[in-house]
Amino acid sequence: MSNSSDDMAMASLLFEEIQEREDMRRMYLQEKLSRGVWVTDRGDEILIAEMKSSHLRNTIAMIERDGSRCVLGVGEDYLPVLREELGKRSS
């Protein structure tokens, strides 16, 4: 039985560590958004103002499709900024 409780304790610690890392990643993405920066899935940073229109459209579609699962739940926060940038180019 002690093995099982040790396993449960280890799983709990690992879960907490994963949550901490995701929280740190969310804060990082929020900070990047405040500077007008999109972070790709590979970790590349692109100024939203310098993204190609096709990239903006694809990014918007991805966030709309995946919703809160996208970009650790921060994706939807990007939508107004991405749409605004795309709108500037349409006018």
Query: In which band, very low, low, confident or very high, does the pLDDT at 91 lie, cut at 50, 70 and 90?
Result: low
In total, how many domains does the chain have?
1
Query: In which band, very low, low, confident or very high, does the pLDDT at 3 lie, cut at 50, 70 and 90?
Result: confident
- pLDDT, residue 70, reads 74
In one-letter notation, the amino acid at residue 53 is S
Residue ranges making up the domain that contains 23: 2-90
Asked whether the beta carbons of 71 and 63 are under 8 A apart, the reply is yes
pLDDT single digits (tens) 38-81: 998 888 999 999 999 999 999 999 999 987 677 767 888 999 99
